[in-house]
Amino acid sequence: MSDRAARPTAHEVLAAVLQIRDGTLQVLAWRRAQPPDAGRWALPGGLLGDDEDVEASVRRQLAEKVDVREISHVEQLAVFSAPHRVPGARRIATAFLGLVPSDADPVVPADTTWHPVDAVPDPAFDHVEIVRAARDRLRAKLSYTNLGFALAPRKFTISMLREHYAAALGHPVSATNLQRVLARRAVLVPTGELVAPGPAGGRPAALFRFAERTLRVTDAFAVLRPPGRPPGEHARAALP
Amino acid sequence: MSDRAARPTAHEVLAAVLQIRDGTLQVLAWRRAQPPDAGRWALPGGLLGDDEDVEASVRRQLAEKVDVREISHVEQLAVFSAPHRVPGARRIATAFLGLVPSDADPVVPADTTWHPVDAVPDPAFDHVEIVRAARDRLRAKLSYTNLGFALAPRKFTISMLREHYAAALGHPVSATNLQRVLARRAVLVPTGELVAPGPAGGRPAALFRFAERTLRVTDAFAVLRPPGRPPGEHARAALP
């Protein structure tokens, strides 16, 4: 193996935790009190410990900011490794995407709050790039997986779900089409319950839930499926 | 940021480069001459240089083993970070998936050869886990993207393409269904050329090509697409 590394290098993990709040896709960030980048907003995370892998590390470090039981999905996002992405000693970052359902309201420390993903004020280091990558990964996966389960409450009307998809995707979504395509692919199932109409009247609306709460591809080409396996199963384990 | 890292830690990049050879999905590996793990088969790679990010590093290190112009697709696969994945000083690995079309026959060094992905003899360190992750990522993406372009030759008959998909997926695939689904999704287009039948006779077969040679999701839910954007475009940039 070649060996050109001489500069001291540390490894950190960072998490872009996203939630739909007030109809907007938002990201959890904390305000740095110390230099470098004091006063700027940073993603939760920190140095990898000697005795942990990156998955254990991100869980440990997120637990310092938020009740991790409220996080419905975590996945590796990408490595950010530009040589001077932080001042001083080099840091390689493994970034994660985390999602919180909209009916959770996690208790967070005084230095930590939520910002719209497209309007993080004074972001620290390259963290705005990580937020964008997380947003784009979420948008892509909403279009070919059942990942909506990780943003939505346990039960929802189609109208509520449409608002979640529109907020995450950043553009309007048709409720009729959403119900048709997600029901046809067996992503959504009716709970059998109805909710009363709002003050404006109208008919009671049916409540739905996601059929599964682990990630799967919702429309893997059926012809590429191994004989006898259900849709999505064969693609599930390999999703990044 | 918390700081629990005291053990010296290096960062390496590794690449699982896959190609269909002799009807089997194979991976490029080199035989280690020096300890640790002397005599075992390892993936191409090495330490991250001070002046490069992981993407530049993997291109540099692959160039020592193979003509990188023959690599049709490279993407970040995952970080492998178990604390004792290699003996001695800790190494965190960023692993990449690389693909080579089946009509290329790269010149490789004397210590380097191809092995079937499911039968790498005496694999070094945790490299067999990386090979499995690369194989599984490829299989998943073949089922919802146009990634076949990176394995197939420039032009092919449907029968040839079916053999590629079957080799990559590890199970039989129907040529009729493959053509139907890939043509319907505009993944394949006819070149207008025909090839003569083989010695067994039969009719001339039509040659096809992939419509695009960059990765896109082939069936992003149309209802989730931003108004006025073509299929797949909005999901493309964010694919891991």
Q: How confident is the model at residue A89 (pLDDT cuts 50, 70, 90)?
A: very high
- Is any Cβ of chain A less than 8 angstroms from the Cβ of B94? yes
Task: Give the closest-approach CA distance of B144 to chain A in angstroms.
Answer: 5
A90, A162, A216, A221: best to mutate for the B interface, most B CBs within 10 A: A221
Q: Stretch A33-62: mean pLDDT, rounded? A: 96
Structure tokens at A183: 């029901």
* Mean predicted lDDT score pLDDT of chain B: 89
Q: Stretch A166-186: mean pLDDT, rounded? A: 88
Nearest to A14 by CA among A124, A108, A96, A118: A96
Q: What is the pLDDT of residues A112-143, one digit of tens each?
A: 999 999 999 999 999 999 999 999 999 999 98
How much is the pLDDT for B236?
Answer: 47
How much is the pLDDT for B233?
Answer: 45
Output phi, psi for A134, to 5 deg: -65, -45
Q: Stretch B142-160: mean pLDDT, rounded? A: 94
B144, B173, B217: best to mutate for the A interface, most A CBs within 10 A: B144
Q: Which of residues 174-233 of B touch A (CB under 8 A)?
A: 174, 177-178, 180-181, 217-227
B47, B51, B79: best to mutate for the A interface, most A CBs within 10 A: B79
CA B127 to each of CA A4, B2, B27, B62: distance values in angstroms, whole numbers, following the listed order = 22, 30, 11, 16
Contact check, Cβ <8 Å, A76/B81 = no
- Is any Cβ of chain B less than 8 angstroms from the Cβ of A63? no
Question: B145-240 — its CATH code?
Answer: 1.10.10.10
**Helix %, strand %, coil % of chain B (to 5):** 25, 30, 45
- Are A32 and A38 in contact by the 8 Å Cβ rule? The answer is yes
Cα–Cα distance between A56 and A106 in angstroms, integer? 20
Answer with the residue of higher pLDDT: A55 or B197.
Answer: A55
Contact check, Cβ <8 Å, B219/A61 = no
Residues across chain A: 240
How much is the pLDDT for A227?
Answer: 58
Contact check, Cβ <8 Å, B227/A3 = no
The residue assigned the tokens 């839910």 is B221
- The torsion region of residue A228 among left (phi > 0), alpha (psi -120 to 50) and beta comes to left
- Is any Cβ of chain A less than 8 angstroms from the Cβ of B140? yes
Q: In A71-143, where does DSSP find H-type helix?
A: 127-142
Cα–Cα distance between B200 and B43 in angstroms, integer? 41
Contact check, Cβ <8 Å, B5/A50 = yes
- Is any Cβ of chain A less than 8 angstroms from the Cβ of B54? yes
Cα–Cα distance between A127 and A84 in angstroms, integer? 13
Answer with the residue of higher pLDDT: B150 or B197.
Answer: B150
Q: Stretch A151-175: mean pLDDT, rounded? A: 94
Contact check, Cβ <8 Å, A54/B81 = yes
Is pLDDT above 50 for A1?
no
Residues of chain A in contact with residue B52, where contact means CB-CB under 8 angstroms, are 83
Nearest to B50 by CA among A15, A223, A49, A4: A4
Cα angle at B105 between B100 and B107, to 5 degrees? 105
How much is the pLDDT for B182?
Answer: 87
Is pLDDT above 80 for A39?
yes
How much is the pLDDT for B177?
Answer: 84
How much is the pLDDT for A234?
Answer: 42
Domain-by-domain residue ranges, chain A?
3-141, 145-240
Is the domain spanning B3-141 CATH 3.90.79.10? The answer is: yes
Q: How confident is the model at residue A3 (pLDDT cuts 50, 70, 90)?
A: very low
The set of residues, in sequence order, having a beta carbon less than 8 Å from that of B41 and lying 6+ positions away, is: B29, B30, B31, B32, B115, B120, B121, B122, B123, B124, B127
The residue assigned the tokens 């079957």 is B166
How much is the pLDDT for A235?
Answer: 46
Answer with the residue of higher pLDDT: A193 or B240.
Answer: A193
Residues of chain B in contact with residue A52, where contact means CB-CB under 8 angstroms, are 83
Percent of chain A residues past pLDDT 90, beyond the cut: 72
CA B163 to each of CA A21, A229, B158, B170, B210: distance values in angstroms, whole numbers, following the listed order = 48, 20, 9, 10, 16
Cα–Cα distance between A106 and A196 in angstroms, integer? 28
Nearest-by-CA chain A residue for B7: A50
* Mean predicted lDDT score pLDDT of chain A: 89
Q: How confident is the model at residue A180 (pLDDT cuts 50, 70, 90)?
A: confident
Contact check, Cβ <8 Å, B11/A239 = no
Contact check, Cβ <8 Å, B220/A52 = no
The set of residues, in sequence order, having a beta carbon less than 8 Å from that of B51 and lying 6+ positions away, is: A4, A83
Nearest-by-CA chain A residue for B182: A221
How much is the pLDDT for B21?
Answer: 97
Task: Give the closest-approach CA distance of A213 to chain B in angstroms.
Answer: 19
Nearest to A11 among B92, B181, B227 (CB): B92
Count A/B contacts: CB-CB distance under 8 Å: 199
How much is the pLDDT for A229?
Answer: 56
- Is any Cβ of chain B less than 8 angstroms from the Cβ of A21? no
Q: How confident is the model at residue B240 (pLDDT cuts 50, 70, 90)?
A: low
Residues of chain A in contact with residue B234, where contact means CB-CB under 8 angstroms, are 139-140, 143
- Are A71 and A98 in contact by the 8 Å Cβ rule? The answer is yes
Is pLDDT above 70 for B144?
yes
Q: Stretch B168-187: mean pLDDT, rounded? A: 87
Percent of chain B residues past pLDDT 90, beyond the cut: 72
- Label the pairing between strands A45-47 and A9-21: antiparallel
How much is the pLDDT for B219?
Answer: 67
The set of residues, in sequence order, having a beta carbon less than 8 Å from that of B33 and lying 6+ positions away, is: B111
Is pLDDT above 90 for B125?
yes
In terms of C-beta density within 10 A (0-12 exposed, 13-18 middle, 19 or more buried), how is residue B176 classed?
A: exposed
Nearest to B235 among A90, A143, A236 (CB): A143
Helix axes B175-184, B158-169, angle to 10 degrees: 100
How much is the pLDDT for B2?
Answer: 44
Poorest-confidence range of A128-132, A164-168, A220-224? A220-224
Nearest to A53 among B52, B83, B221 (CB): B83
